[in-house]
Amino acid sequence: MITVKVKLLNKVGLHARPAALFVQTAKKFKSNITVIKNEQSANAKSILEILALGADYGDEIIIQADGPDESDAIKELLDLLEKFREEE
């Protein structure tokens, strides 16, 4: 299992379009991927669970991946979060 802590630095956090792209990316991997904010966790492959986290600008989230492609999943999701920040 790989666990990383990330600070959301894009203006809208994980809402609407960024959340949809995050989930779409997570679904490409076989690994189980979980996003944790405070004490609440969400399946990274569920748009409703990701939106329910209410992850906003400046929030710290933890991304955990466990499975055969966990390192690729973490890398691609971190790259995606960085890309969101650059698009603003």
The residues that are catalytic are 15
Q: Are 47 and 20 in contact (CB under 8 A)?
A: yes
Question: In 1-88, at which residue ranges do the beta strands (DSSP E only) sit?
Answer: 2-7, 32-37, 40-43, 60-66
Q: Are 7 and 59 in contact (CB under 8 A)?
A: yes
